[in-house]
Every structure is written in structure tokens, then in C-alpha cells.
């Protein structure tokens, strides 16, 4: 399980670095925000990106993972994923009428602490 997480994290970081490099190159080549024929494109916010990223990871859809990763800065995405995890854990704990700590340990297969 940890090997898969490490591999996903490593892949994600490498792609994020390539994306950042590509953004810098594009910014130097053509200053100003990119515009489509229909006008400015709305950029998804970090919570939309986090939701899309986590859902794609859960469904093992690498194409959607790559798309979601490209929407926001890697640090913003990490914050969004963390926020989503916290909110999901709290909701699940309320549903089960247990503490968030107990639910988190249960989801990870750890003994009750």
C-alpha cells in the first residue's frame, strides 16, 4: 500500500515540476493570460481540483489525475486534498458516531489507540 502511495507521490511531483517549467517557458514566450476564442477560461479552484484528484485516484483513472494536477499549484492541491480528507473524516465520524481518531485508525487498518 505504501509503495503505491510513494509511486503516486513521486509521479505527481515529477509532473508538477514539468508543468511548472512549462508554465515559466510559456510566460516568457507570451506575456499575459492565455485566452481562448470564447474568451477567458475559468480556472478551477483548489477544492475542485482536490475533489477531482481524489475521485480520480479512487477510480484509478490516471488521465483524470493528470488533468486535475494541472489545474492548480502542487502545494495548493496538497492543501485541498488535506482539507477534503479532514472534512470527509469528520463527516464519516459523525455518521458512525465515533471520534475522528477512531475512524481514521479504522480506515487505515490500525488498531484502536
State pLDDT tens for residues 9-43. Answer: 777 777 777 777 777 776 666 544 444 455 566 77
What is the b/e burial string over 44-61, where b = at least 16 CB atoms within 10 angstroms of the residue's CB? bebbebbbbbbebbeeee
Show the cell assigned to 80. Answer: 485541498
For all residues of the chain together, what is the average pLDDT? 82
CA distance 71 to 56: 14
Angle, nearest 10°, between helix axes 74-96 and 46-58?
Answer: 70
Q: Give percent above pLDDT 90 in the chain.
A: 50
Amino acid at each position: 500500500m505504501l509503495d503505491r502511495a510513494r509511486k503516486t507521490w513521486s509521479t505527481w511531483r515529477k509532473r508538477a515540476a514539468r508543468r511548472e517549467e512549462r508554465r515559466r517557458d510559456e510566460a516568457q514566450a507570451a506575456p499575459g493570460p492565455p485566452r481562448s476564442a470564447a474568451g477567458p477560461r475559468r480556472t478551477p479552484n483548489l477544492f475542485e481540483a482536490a475533489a477531482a484528484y481524489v475521485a480520480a485516484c479512487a477510480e484509478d483513472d490516471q488521465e483524470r489525475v493528470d488533468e486535475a494536477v494541472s489545474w492548480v499549484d502542487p502545494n495548493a492541491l496538497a492543501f485541498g486534498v488535506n482539507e477534503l480528507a479532514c472534512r470527509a473524516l469528520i463527516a464519516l465520524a459523525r455518521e458512525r458516531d465515533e471520534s475522528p481518531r477512531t475512524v481514521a485508525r479504522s480506515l487505515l487498518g490500525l488498531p484502536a489507540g
